[in-house]
Amino acid sequence: MRIVVLCGPGLNLFQQKVVEPIIGDHSFDIVGALIDNRPKPSFKKRFIKNLKRGRGGYMLVMFFKSRRHKNDPSVSARLFFERLGVPCIETREPYHETTVMKLKAWQPEVMVMLGGFGIVKEPLLSLAPQGILSYHHGNMRKYRGQPVGFWELYNGETEMGVTVQRLAAGIDKGTPIVEKVIPIEKNDDVNSLSNRALMSSTSMMHEAVQLLAAPSFSPNVIREFGPIYTLPNLRQYLRLKFKLLFRK
Q: Which domains does the chain have, with CATH numbers?
A: 2-245 (3.40.50.170)
Output the pLDDT for position 73: 72
Residue 21: the pLDDT is: 97
CB 110 within 8 A of CB 131: yes
Backbone angles phi, psi at 155, to 5 degrees: -90, 5
Rg of the chain taking only CA atoms, in angstroms: 19
CA 214 to chain centre: 24
pTM of the model: 0.92
**C-alpha of 117 from chain center:** 10
User: For 154, how many CA atoms within 13 A lie in the half-sphere containing its CB?
Assistant: 18
Would you give the DSSP letter of residue 14? H
Least confident of 65-69, 148-152, 179-183: 65-69
Q: What is the pLDDT of residue 72?
A: 64
Give the three-class secondary structure for 184: coil
Please report the pLDDT score of residue 213 as a whole number.
95
Specify the DSSP element, H or E, that contains 236: helix 234-245
Please report the beta strands in the chain, taking only residues with DSSP state E, as ranges in sequence order. Answer: 2-7, 10-11, 29-36, 75-76, 88-91, 110-113, 132-136, 144-145, 159-166, 175-183, 228-229
| Bond from prior residue into 123 cis (ω within 30 degrees of 0) | yes
Q: Return the pLDDT at 248.
A: 58
